[in-house]
Amino acid sequence: MAAPLMPKAIAVWLVDNTTLTFEQVAAFCNLHDLEVQAIADDEVAVGMHGLDPVAGGELTKEEIERCEADPAARLEMAAARVPEIKPNRKGARYTPVSKRQDRPDAIAWLLRNYPELSDGQIGKLIGTTKPTINAIRERTHWNSTNIKPQNPVGLELCKGEDLEKAVAIARAKAGTVHAPGAATAPDGINQVAPAQDTAADPMPAAPAEPAAPTEPAAEPAEQTPDTTVHSAESVFGPAPAAEPEASGETEEPQA
């Protein structure tokens, strides 16, 4: 059980204004029994003003009366009447001062990788204004030369879930499909392999049979030298006829 805000001051009030036992007061105020008895004997917390727990919303009169009627009962803390404060989701996200210099880099990264995001979505994610986004897009920002696109999730300017949701909404409006997990990747882009259509061909293809080995080409036969003996006539043709030899006698012409 949660202890009251000011236990000793409440114990002083309960001792002075109720008939609760020391054990009941000590159990509610998270004190020792002897300390509560010392408060009743004016040995502890002398001159301390008591604090009414009923006015503070920590106890109810019905609870005090119930415990006064039953010495064995224990006081129960009353339910908080303060309404729960809900965070304001409207407007730009608050960015800590130490991270505001990183916003231009995050805006440039979003404009480069997710052009389908609107200026309003970028403003809510990063916590910036539309004029700043337009200046970075048109390269008219005063610090354009030093802007280096960086992932806003890595810079802790937004959560990956928020970025995924914003991109999904933007791409749903544009009619495109968003690859899950792209916002949390180191470079912001996940290369998703295209899914193979296995429904058209449920049976796996049979493995191809190995090709039969081809016989090596026959080597040309060795040419054996021609050992046939050819005659001179077959090679050089017939020999020319010999001229008649001139005799020593000459024929005299007849008269």
Concatenating the DSSP letter of every residue in the chain gives -PPPSSHHHHHHHHHHH----HHHHHHHHT--HHHHHHHHTTSSSTTPPP--TTTTTS--HHHHHHHHH-TT----PPPP-SPPPPPP-SSSPP--GGGGGGHHHHHHHHHHH-TTS-HHHHHHHHT--HHHHHHHHTT-STTGGG-----TTTTTSS-HHHHHHHHHHHHHHHT--PPTT-TTSSSS---PPPPP--SS--SPPPPPPPPPPPPPPPPPPPPPP--PPPPHHHHH-SPPPPPPPPPS--PPPP-
Give tens-digit pLDDT for 49-89.
889 999 888 899 999 999 999 999 999 988 877 666 776 66
Residue-level pLDDT at 163: 92
- Is the pLDDT at 225 greater than 80? The verdict is no
How would residue 102 be classed by pLDDT, with cut points 50, 70 and 90? Answer: very high
Tell whether the model's pLDDT for residue 160 goes beyond 80: yes
* pLDDT at residue 209, rounded to an integer: 56
pTM for this predicted structure = 0.40
Position with higher pLDDT, 197 vs 4: 4
